[in-house]
Amino acid sequence: NFMLTQPHSVSESPGKTVTISCTRSTGNIVSYYVQWYQQRPGSSPTNVIYEDNRRPSGVPYRFSGSIDSSSNSAFLTISGLKTEDEADYFCQSYDLSHVVFGGGTKLTVL
């Protein structure tokens, strides 16, 4: 099975931009879509990016996703940070027989 590796935590100031990485251990990152989920404390996860770079309705334009085949990584970028963006973020992908989540990144907006 493959793994998805994320930084354990990131922090940035309100109004700034932050990027969270998600690196796939084996298999090509472009072969299977990557999704991103936001989870605030005490709440269920919600989808903020699907199919690498698409935003569900209702998700602000400040959230964007991208893929870099050279590093076999996916990225979640949040611009114009707000305190309400403080949460855990999980990337997720799959292969022919398994779904895999990254370990999660705790975003602190201070």
Partner 1 sequence: EVQMVESGGGLVTPGGSLRLSCAGSGFTFNDHSMNWVRQAPGKGLEWVSSISSYSNDKYYADSVRGRFTISRDNAKNSVYLQMNSLRVEDTAVYYCARDPRVFGDLLYGMDVWGQGTTVTVSS
Which pair of structure tokens corresponds to residue 105? 């990144």
| End-to-end Cα separation, the chain, in angstroms | 37
Q: Is 98 in the site for partner 1 (CB under 8 A)?
A: yes
Q: Is 26 in the site for partner 1 (CB under 8 A)?
A: no
Q: Is 44 in the site for partner 1 (CB under 8 A)?
A: yes
Task: Read off the DSSP letter of residue 84.
Answer: G
Q: Is 47 in the site for partner 1 (CB under 8 A)?
A: yes
Residues across the chain: 110
Taking CB under 8 A as the criterion, the residue among 21, 64, 73, 92 binding partner 1 is: 92
Place of tokens 């990557």: 34
Q: Is 45 in the site for partner 1 (CB under 8 A)?
A: yes
Q: Is 57 in the site for partner 1 (CB under 8 A)?
A: no
CB of 103 to partner 1, least distance (A): 5
Q: Is 56 in the site for partner 1 (CB under 8 A)?
A: yes
Is residue 45 within 8 Å of residue 37, measured between CB atoms?
yes
Spatial CB neighbours of 45, under 8 Å, sequence gap ≥ 6:
37, 38, 39, 90
Residues in touch with partner 1 (CB under 8 A): 1, 33, 35, 37, 39, 44-47, 50, 56, 88, 90, 92-104
